Amino acid sequence: MKHPLFWFLGMAFLAGAQALQPHDVLDSQLQPRDTVTTLHAPLSLSSQTWSGIDGQWTSYNLRLGSPQFQNVLVIPSTKATTVYAIDPEGCGAGRFLNGTEEDCISNRGGVFNSNASSDWLDASFYWIGIDNNLGYNAKGSYGNGQVGIGYGNAGPSVQHQLMATVANSNWWFGVFPLNPRPTNRSDTNTPETSLLQSLKDSNNTPSLSWGYTSGAKYRSETFYGSLTLGGYDSARFDNSSQITVPFRQDDDRDLMIRVNEIKTNDSANPISSTPLDLVIDSTVPYLYLPQEVCQAFEKTFGLEWNSTVELYTMSDSQYSTLVERNTGIDFNVGPSNNTTTIHFPIKAFLPQANFPLIPDNKTTYYFPIKQANSSDKHTLGRTFLQEAYITYHYERGYFNIAPCVWPNDTSRPPSSAIVPITNGNSDSNPNDNGQHSISAGAIAGAVVGGIIAGLLLAALIAYIWLRRRRHAQQRAQSLKAAISVAHTRSSSSATLPGGRPRAGSRLASFFRNPWGSVSDGDGIVPGHYELPVDPMGLTPAEQEVAAREREHKRHLSNELDAEVSAVHEMYQPKLAVPEMPGDEPFPTYVSGDGATVEGNALRAAQLEREREREEARRAVYEMDATAGLSSASTPLPSPPMPSPGQIDAIVRKERDERERLEAERAEAERIRSRELARRVSDGSADVSTDGTARPDTERRVSDLSPISENSVFGGSPTSPSRPYTGSRRVSRD
């Protein structure tokens, strides 16, 4: 069995390996190498600037307009599709009483004056279409112009790019759009290309994907954020803890992730254990959470809501207490079967807020969470991306989340290892040498090898099934042969007349249990493959039973042979039913009722039938020697039911008996009458007028004469007025 199995498996592996080997390719199938198309390296944006009125975030420089470009600082937005810059009217004279115009421009990251740009094509005013549900409502002046990346002429630039200027204080800082989808305006049917699409179309990036983390100034001044267009920085996150999350169907909420649990490292009770679906949105700094989660944060860290500034503000002493406590906050995120934990030190949740969030040019620490009264507001702002690195695979429809890693040397920025993300099915990694995709021929060979392996596996299954079936047939034939030999080895017939197995014979044992004893190892048991040592010999249990049979038969009869079957038949003589001659008178001394010959005859016949039934019940036709070995003897069989012929014979016998009794009675009456007549003629008897003898006669009538009803002896045989001598009448003599 093992050798054919190994042979089949070896053939399957050989076929699969041969199918995967490279095949010869004809020269006509070869194509010239593409020497024109070039895959550009990812665009890694460098920055050493911290900006923000709601915390410190890494900002990036954009060059807007021409011929003299204007530099503005912007913060990456995972939702925006268009560049948003601050309009000069946002820092107009007298607009902000607590600072000069120059301070406002610097505080807002610079402004873009579209009137000073020669290539600006004014479109119209439109509502900013992102985060309206969170209260960020504002209008912007849209137009098309030149956009450059980075400072000077080091970075790429694109022409005729859609952008907007905003003066509303809700948008205090400009944004860098990371959403590659186009923008649709209500007055045109042509979608406007996004900044990422324009960079890719101009071969400045290999794809529409990107990687981003917002930076962690609370750890070190040099731990800036990282933004890579067309790739990601593999040195900024823990690859072993990275998870993959597919996009949601809603384009505005494609970066939705499930938060399974929120807890602190100094308490066994979690802040939240209910799974929540939240959208990652770096446009806003806050975490918009359900009310019960915010209340749990309040209880854990002693927070108080400031309704004036609408923030969880805290005093310097509260801040110092929380820093000394050094409580960590853990977010377990991802699908239920693929999760990772993002750890935040307490300082990540203790940023500073200043003007205009805090009036009078004051600065205060606050806790960056807000209550969301509906599920469409549940958001993870850029506070979450301080310790989480996100890789956005737009072409593949998923994103990766992983915890950030930080160097031990806080005096230097983290190292960088940029990995491009292409439009293909695999990411190109410059550190992975010798990796090649599987060719079409190899795939076809693998398919052929799989088919061959499947056929071989089917043949192997069929072989095993047929082999088991053949073995089962052989076992059945062996069993039949063993039964036949066991039948012929018996010294006498193993069956009784009628074909019934003789009790105690091996044939009878087979019919009781054709598979032998399950408890002993010599029996043939279905489902097992162990053959008996000697199919013709007796098992130990059968030998013990045979010994007991011989001992039992020795006590029963000396004439029984030990080798003969243990079932014996004892002689049962045929019972003879005596019949009295019909021509002889019925004797008067036969026991009866003492009144009539018919009664005596019927009683005698009844006694005879009862005796016959009793003898029939005591008759033993077969005696099994093994019956004495069991705990309870086998009950004797009930007397057989008479056949229809026997019933007819009994009826005829009873009819003949009645006729004989009537004849005898008539003969007795005739004799009595003749005797009475003789006595009357002789004068030895006195006859009454009714023809009967008188009571004082000296002679007796027959003991069988009837008694009149008015006689003193007419009562019951057991009556006190009548002498009792069995069933006979006694004369007065």
Percentage of the chain beyond pLDDT 70 is 66
- Residue type for position 378: H
Rounded-to-integer distance, Cα 350 and Cα 364, Å: 10
CB proximity list for 307: less than 8 A, separation 6 or greater: none
Contact indicator for 507, 488 with CB cutoff of 8 Å: no
| pLDDT tens string 572-617 | 555 555 555 554 454 544 444 555 666 677 777 788 888 888 777 7
Q: Where do the CATH 2.40.70.10 domains begin and end in the chain?
A: 43-420
Is 249 exposed, middle or buried (CB count within 10 Å of its CB: 0-12, 13-18, 19+)?
exposed
pLDDT band at 446 (very low <50, low <70, confident <90, very high): confident
Poorest-confidence range of 23-32, 418-427, 482-491, 610-619? 23-32
- Residue type for position 48: Q
User: Which residue bears the tokens 């000396």?
Assistant: 558
Work out whether strand 622-624 and strand 276-280 pair parallel, antiparallel, or are unpaired.
unpaired
Q: What per-residue string of b and e applies to 632-644 under the rule 16 or more CB within 10 Å gives b?
A: eeeeeeeeeeeee
Q: What 3-state DSSP class applies to 634?
A: coil
Rounded-to-integer distance, Cα 41 and Cα 45, Å: 12
Query: In 91-234, which ranges are E strands?
Result: 121-127, 139-149, 157-166, 174-177, 210-213, 226-229, 231-233
Rounded-to-integer distance, Cα 248 and Cα 327, Å: 33
pLDDT band at 376 (very low <50, low <70, confident <90, very high): very high
| Structural tokens at position 631 | 């705990």
Contact indicator for 66, 79 with CB cutoff of 8 Å: no
Q: Is the pLDDT of residue 327 over 70?
A: yes
Contact indicator for 90, 108 with CB cutoff of 8 Å: yes
Number of continuous H segments (helices) and E segments (strands) in the chain: 10, 29
Q: Does domain 43-420 have CATH number 3.40.50.150?
A: no
Rounded-to-integer distance, Cα 517 and Cα 523, Å: 6
For residue 728, the model assigns a pLDDT of 42
Contact indicator for 553, 544 with CB cutoff of 8 Å: no
Rounded-to-integer distance, Cα 249 and Cα 231, Å: 23
SS3 letters across 575-616: CCCCCCCCCCCCCCCCCCCCCCHHHHHHHHHHHHHHHHHHHH
For residue 723, the model assigns a pLDDT of 44
Contact indicator for 263, 339 with CB cutoff of 8 Å: no
